[in-house]
Amino acid sequence: MFRIIKKSLKTGVVTGRYPQSAALQESIDPAAAEKAKPFRQSLVIREVDTGSCNACEMEMNALMNPVYDAERFGIRIAASPRHADALVVTGPVTVNMERALKDAYKQTPDPKIVIALGDCAITCGLFKGSYAVTGPVDRHVPVDVRIPGCPPRPAEILKALTELCGKHDRRQAAGS
């Protein structure tokens, strides 16, 4: 026990210790921001991977680590699309995942937001045109927010999500 407390004291608070995201892409579409109004206090996300290379998944996971700690903005990950306010979709939508994506979309209660994360989800990236790919995501479900990058840095994802919820990362601004 003593060891654990000592370790925690020694480590201190690491939240916000990350470099400023460089000039952010396009800002959030006002229509999407309007749609996100009911979720300002709490945004619950279901992540659906439709064929990404798993780098986007790693960066989504990084959002939940103590450095980015997305939960301090009320952003949480749900285990089921039925508990979600937003779907974060990564990957170019493969032939085999097409139905699962549509099912997950149908199972998400209205009102809902769809966020296409990464270049593959937005344009199919390097996989464009392949026989096994039917995307991009907006061919199958309506997309509200696009976060480009291959993969986007966690700081960029966090910035887009907080902007969507109308919040600012004060700790980060102070910390850097």
Residues that bind another protein (CB under 8 A): 3-4, 7, 11, 14, 18-19, 47-62, 64-68, 77, 79-81, 91-92, 94-97, 100, 104, 125-127, 129-133, 150-151, 153
Q: Which is nearer to another protein, 35 or 74 (CB)?
A: 74
Give the residue with the Cβ less far from another protein, 7 or 34: 7
Nearer to another protein, 14 or 173 (CB): 14
The nearest distance, CB 31 to another protein, in angstroms, is 27
Residue 25, Ramachandran bin (φ over 0: left; ψ between -120 and 50: alpha; else beta): beta
Q: Please spell the DSSP secondary structure of the chain, one letter per residue.
A: -HHHHHHHHHH---TT-SPPPPS-SS---HHHHHHTGGGSS-EEEEEEESS--SHHHHHHHHHTSTTT-GGGGTEEE-SSGGG-SEEEEES--BTTTHHHHHHHHHHSPSS-EEEEESHHHHH-GGGTT-TTB---GGGTS---EEE-SSSPPHHHHHHHHHHHTT---HHHHHH-
> With respect to another protein, which residue has the nearer C-beta, 49 or 144?
49
* Structure token digits, residue 158: 């966090």
Nearest residue (CB) to another protein, 33 versus 63: 63
Distance of closest approach, residue 110 Cβ to another protein, in angstroms:
19
Please state the closest distance from residue 91 (CB atom) to another protein, in A: 7
CB of 156 to another protein, least distance (A): 11
Q: Which is nearer to another protein, 52 or 162 (CB)?
A: 52
Q: What is the closest distance, in whole angstroms, from the C-beta atom of residue 37 to another protein in the complex?
A: 25
Distance between CA atoms of 70 and 64, rounded to whole angstroms? Answer: 6
Closest CB 28 distance from another protein, rounded Å: 22
